[in-house]
Amino acid sequence: MRRHLLILSSIAAVLTVAGCKREHRVFDPGATGAQVANGVQLTDVHVGQVAHPPSAYSQYSDSAYAVGEGKRLYSAYNCVGCHANGGGGIGPPLMDAVWIYGSKPEQIFSTIVQGRPNGMPSFAGKIPDYQVWELVAYVRSMSGQLPSDIAPSRSDTMPTRNAEQATKKEHPSDEYQQPVQQEKSR
Amino acid sequence: MGAISQLAMLLFAPGFHGKQTALSPAGPQARTIEHTFLLIFWITAVVYVIVIAVLAIGVWRARIHGNELPPPQPANPVHDRIVARIVAGALGVSIVLLFIMLVSSYRTSHATAALAASSALTINVYGHQWWWEVEYPNKEPYKIVHTANEIHVPAGVPVTIHATSRDVIHSFWAPNIHGKKDLLPGYFNDLTLEVDQPGNWRGQCAEFCGEQHAHMSFEIVAQSPQDFQRWLSAQALSAPGPTTPQIAHGEQVFLSHPCVMCHTIGGTTANSRVGPDLTHLASRSTIAAGTLPNTIGNLAGWISNPQSIKPGCRMPPNPMSSTDLNDLLAYLETLR
- Inside any domain, residue B7: yes
The residue out of B195, B224, B253 marking a domain boundary is: B224
Q: Residue A67: what pLDDT?
A: 94
Q: Which residues of B touch A28 (CB under 8 A)?
A: 305, 307-308, 311, 317
B145 and B170 together in one domain: yes
Question: B256 and A125 in contact by Cβ < 8 A?
Answer: yes
B163 and B254 together in one domain: no
Counting the structural domains of chain B, the total is: 3
Interface predicted TM-score (ipTM): 0.72
Q: Give CA–CA dist A69/B97, Å, rounded.
A: 53
Question: A31 and B319 in contact by Cβ < 8 A?
Answer: yes
Written as one letter, the residue type at A64 is A
B308 and B258 together in one domain: yes
B106 and B193 together in one domain: no
User: A4 vs A1, A10, A160, B247, CA distance in Å?
Assistant: 5, 10, 52, 72
The pLDDT of A89-117, averaged and rounded, is: 91
B105 and B124 together in one domain: no
| Nearest CB to B317 within list A77, A127, A128 | A128
pLDDT tens across A130-153, in order?
A: 899 999 999 999 999 999 999 999
B304 and B322 together in one domain: yes
Which distant-in-sequence residues (6+ apart) come within 8 Å of B250 by Cβ? B242, B327, B328, B329, B330, B331, B332
Best residue of B261, B263, B269 to probe chain A, by most A CBs closer than 10 Å: B261
The pLDDT of A153-159, averaged and rounded, is: 83
Q: Residue B36: what pLDDT?
A: 93
Q: Residue A2: what pLDDT?
A: 77
Q: Nearest-CA distance from A127 to chain B in Å? A: 5
B273 and B305 together in one domain: yes
Question: A77 and B319 in contact by Cβ < 8 A?
Answer: no
| Nearest CB to A127 within list B185, B261, B311 | B261
Q: Residue A48: what pLDDT?
A: 72
Question: A28 and B307 in contact by Cβ < 8 A?
Answer: yes
- Least confident span in A17-31, A101-115, B1-15, B80-94: B1-15
Residue of chain B nearest A129, judged by CA positions: B316
**CB A19: neighbour CB atoms within 10 A?**
8
Q: Residue A129: what pLDDT?
A: 86
Judge whether A76 is closer than 8 Å to chain B, CB to CB. yes
Question: A32 and B257 in contact by Cβ < 8 A?
Answer: no
- Long-range Cβ pairs for the range B288-293 (8 Å, 24+): B288/B131, B288/B215, B288/B313, B289/B130, B289/B131, B289/B132, B289/B148, B289/B149, B289/B215, B289/B216, B289/B217, B289/B218, B290/B149, B290/B202, B290/B215, B290/B216, B290/B217, B290/B218, B290/B219, B291/B215, B291/B217
- Inside any domain, residue B237: no
Q: Which residues of chain B have pLDDT under 70?
A: 1-16, 63-67
| Nearest CB to B308 within list A25, A28, A76 | A28
| Nearest CB to A126 within list B261, B274, B312 | B261
Question: A128 and B318 in contact by Cβ < 8 A?
Answer: yes
Judge whether A34 is closer than 8 Å to chain B, CB to CB. no
Q: Give CA–CA dist A139/B176, Å, rounded.
A: 47
Q: Nearest-CA distance from B331 to chain A in Å? A: 19
B123 and B187 together in one domain: yes
For chain A, the domains span: 57-169
B260 and B322 together in one domain: yes
B163 and B258 together in one domain: no
Which distant-in-sequence residues (6+ apart) come within 8 Å of B325 by Cβ? B253, B300, B303, B304
Q: Which residues of B touch A76 (CB under 8 A)?
A: 261-262, 272, 274
Question: B318 and A156 in contact by Cβ < 8 A?
Answer: no
Count CA within 13 A, CB hemisphere, residue B19.
13
B110 and B131 together in one domain: no
Question: B261 and A125 in contact by Cβ < 8 A?
Answer: no
pLDDT tens across B101-133, in order?
A: 999 999 999 988 888 777 789 999 999 999 999
Judge whether B57 is closer than 8 Å to chain A, CB to CB. no
- Inside any domain, residue B230: no
Q: Where residue B264 sits, what CATH number does that domain have?
A: 2.60.40.420
Q: Nearest-CA distance from A166 to chain B in Å? A: 23
Residues paired with B218 in a beta bridge: B203
- Inside any domain, residue B239: no
| Nearest CB to B167 within list A29, A131, A156 | A156
Q: Which range of residues forms the domain containing residue B51?
A: 2-69+76-115
Residue of chain B nearest A127, judged by CA positions: B258
Question: B316 and A126 in contact by Cβ < 8 A?
Answer: no
pLDDT tens across A40-88, in order?
A: 556 667 677 666 666 788 889 999 999 999 999 999 999 999 999 888 8
Question: A27 and B311 in contact by Cβ < 8 A?
Answer: yes
Q: Residue B53: what pLDDT?
A: 96
- Inside any domain, residue B287: yes
* Inter-residue contact A78 to A127 (CB < 8 Å): no
CATH code matching the domain that covers A57-169, chosen among 3.40.50.720, 3.40.1080.10, 1.10.287.70, 1.10.760.10: 1.10.760.10
Judge whether A87 is closer than 8 Å to chain B, CB to CB. no
Judge whether B256 is closer than 8 Å to chain A, CB to CB. yes
In this predicted structure, the answer to whether residue A24 has a pLDDT above a threshold of 50 is: yes
What does pTM read for this prediction?
0.80
Best residue of B274, B315, B318 to probe chain A, by most A CBs closer than 10 Å: B274
- Inside any domain, residue B236: no
Q: Are strands B159-165 and B189-193 parallel, antiparallel or unpaired?
A: antiparallel
Q: Which residues of B touch A77 (CB under 8 A)?
A: 261
Find the helix packing angle between B2-12 and B28-65, rounded to 10°: 70
Q: Which residues of A touch B257 (CB under 8 A)?
A: 125-126
Q: Residue A155: what pLDDT?
A: 85
Closest alpha carbon to B34 in B60, B6, B53, B15: B6
Q: Residue A180: what pLDDT?
A: 73
